[in-house]
Structure 1
Amino acid sequence: MNISEQLNNERLLSEQKYKQDDVNLKIIKIRQEIEEKKKNLNFTLNIETSDFYEDQIKQLVRKHFFSDMPELPETLKVLHDFSGSETNEFSQLVNNLKHSFKDSFASLNTEYSYIKNQLDSISRKIRDAEKSAEDEYISDLRQKKDALDKRILTIEKEIETLHIKIGEFNNQIKTYKQRQEILRKKIDDSTEYSEKEQKTKQLINILQNYIGLFKAEKKKSLEEKMLKGLNTLLHKENFITKVEVDISVTGDDIDITLYNHKGRIIDKGSLSMGERQMYASALLNALVDESDIDFPVFIDSPMQKFDEQHAANIIKYFYPNVSKQVVIFPLINKELTAKEYRQLQPNVAKAYLINNITTDSSEFLTTTPEDFLNTYNEIYYAN
């Protein structure tokens, strides 16, 4: 029995289970009734006769009451126990194998026969061509074929080389894209820096304008203070009526021009030694005043070139005002007389004498402003 028949019998067995039970039940009832009737018989039935009638009853019940039930082998066992859907799927598979596979196999067999015939035909042509190898036309075709084969090999090598170059170019493209990204970031950064640069330029312009205004203001202030200082220190009235200060762009150099009451430039080389000293003193006083820095001023040979009136002006107006701390190094009686010192003394905080001990050494002697001249006279005029 094949699998298909087994599955079909199992299906029928499953469907007829209840009908079979009903058949058996009816047969049992009939046998029971017959057994009851046999009790009333006045003769005895042998076993063979009894078995015969029982078998006939079974067959007749099935024949007349359950004729639609097929006979199944009594030894039938359920081997697969498929569900209805599984049984249908299996049946469909069997049908496909019986019909579709048969058609496919026939088609494949036909195609195989056709291809085999084609192959045989090509083989014959090849054999015929090989037999005709000595033919000039065939030889020419072979040469062309060989040339084409070589050309194909050359082209394949060129294609392989081009593939390698394409790979290299792809790597270069990748590298260039990375560089492009770096440059893009730099451009973005430069744009940001450009904005900062523009802001910086604006600030620089503002500072330059401020510096220009500051220089102009300082220039004007320096001119006014120099003119005031010169008019205070010089004893010639209206000798200098205008001072012009020219400050270089870098601020490192200052050029000063003096004008007289006629508006003409005064040649500083034409000034006397005392006037030049007054000019230098007025310039120093103006610069110190404009600097706003309290630094000490050291003056050597203070009044060597001055006449009496210029010396009086220097002592009265310049030394007390040029700085908070002024250190003067005069030669007594030559560059600073006793009269001039007494005019200066109210503004002197401390006094020192440089005493020459030998030709190679000297010392500082501390004295008081009041005893300065007396101490000097005692040392140098004791004899």
Structure 2
Amino acid sequence: MSLVMQENLEGKAEIPRIINDGKESVEDIISNRKQISEKQDELEEVDRELRDISNELKSYDLPEDVDVSSLESQRSEIEGRISEMRQEIGRVEHEIETLDEKVDEIDEKWREEAAKESKHRTMMRKLDFVEDAHEELTEIKQTILAQIRENTEENMNRYFNDLIWKDEDYTVELGEDYTVSVYGRHGDNKIGSLSAGEKQVLALSFMSALTKISGFNAPIVIDTPLGRISSKPKKRIAQNLPDYLMDTQITFLMTDEEYTDEVRAHLQNSVANEYLLDYSNEVTEVKGR
């Protein structure tokens, strides 16, 4: 799981908890304010009782049998109750102030988490876009690679059957990893039974097909291109290979047995320069022809 996704999940879990804490704090404040109201009502009632007792004491000439000390005791008790209630009211008011501060903190934290969640939602949308784009690009890439392989296979089929000197038609196939298979008319894979010359033709066909499909006209150097091929098929290769590698600079390194007069005649319209490498006394001299 990515860090963004993890933080997003944590943020989503945090916000409900913050809201719940805030709700509980507000409920506590409401309850405490109710207690204060009740205490104030009770205080007013006790205060009225105290005033009544005081007024009663002032308005009457009390006989000697009236226990003044008892009345004073009641009055003191009421005053004590009043003091306790005022202290309780003060305590509750302080608790309300504390809860108000807590609610403010919760509200600030909620706003921070809400902003964080909004940021995470934006990040998740971007992440989803990148993942979708990656999937699309991967699919496009696979489609292009498959098309390139099919085109290479098609050209290789044509080149090989044009260059091969046998009357039999072959089917050349390229696997996904560009493994080459050559099938005969009966569907048997002949890749293992091709002669050295046929393998040379297959390699030339593969190289020509790749060069054509690549779109790059990089120079090509081929050493002994006709070295394993008998004299008769050389004519077909000399006739066709320049057409397959049209607009491509090719350097053939051939022996005199390869570069026969017949081969030279078929290549002369495509050859710009000829050089003879004359090796004598352990020295190779390059001569123009």
Same topology, TM > 0.5: yes
Cα RMSD of the aligned pairs, angstroms, is 4.9
Q: Distance in 2 between matches of 1:132 and 1:334?
A: 143
Match of 2:39 in 1: none
Match of 2:256 in 1: 333
Q: Which residue of the other structure, out of 131, 136, 144, is the alignment partner of 1:204?
A: 136
Residues 362, 183 of structure 1: alpha-carbon distance in 2 compared, 3 angstrom cutoff: farther
The aligned length equals: 231
Listed as ranges, the matches of 1:309-348 within 5 Å are 309-333=232-256, 336-337=259-260, 340-348=263-271
SS at structure 2 position matched to 1:269: coil
Match of 2:181 in 1: 257
Q: Distance in 2 between matches of 1:279 and 1:163?
A: 91
Q: Which residue of the other structure, out of 156, 159, 165, is the alignment partner of 1:235?
A: 165
Match of 2:173 in 1: 244
Deviations 1:224-272 (A, max 9, x none): 32222112111111152x223333xxxxx32332211112222x12211
Aligned residue identity for 2:107: I
Q: Distance in 2 between matches of 1:152 and 1:355?
A: 123
Work out whether residues 246 and 255 of structure 1, in 8 Å CA contact, stay in contact via their aligned partners in 2.
yes
Match of 2:99 in 1: 165
Match of 1:41 in 2: none
SS at structure 2 position matched to 1:257: strand
Deviations 1:325-379 (A, max 9, x none): 33334253355456544543342102345677997x978x462xxx2xxxxxxxx
Match of 1:222 in 2: 152
Aligned residue identity for 1:168: K
Listed as ranges, the matches of 1:51-70 within 5 Å are none
Match of 1:121 in 2: 58
Aligned residue identity for 1:244: E
Gaps of 5+ in 2: 1-50
Deviations 1:40-98 (A, max 9, x none): xxxxxxxxxxxxxxxxxxxxxxxxxxxxxxxxxxxxxxxxxxxxxxxxxxxxxxxxxxx
Aligned residue identity for 1:118: N
CA drift of 1:275 comes to 0.9
Match of 1:84 in 2: none
SS at structure 1 position matched to 2:244: coil
CA drift of 1:217 comes to 5.4
CA drift of 1:304 comes to 2.2
Q: Distance in 1 between matches of 2:150 and 2:254?
A: 37
Q: Distance in 1 between matches of 2:269 and 2:71?
A: 145
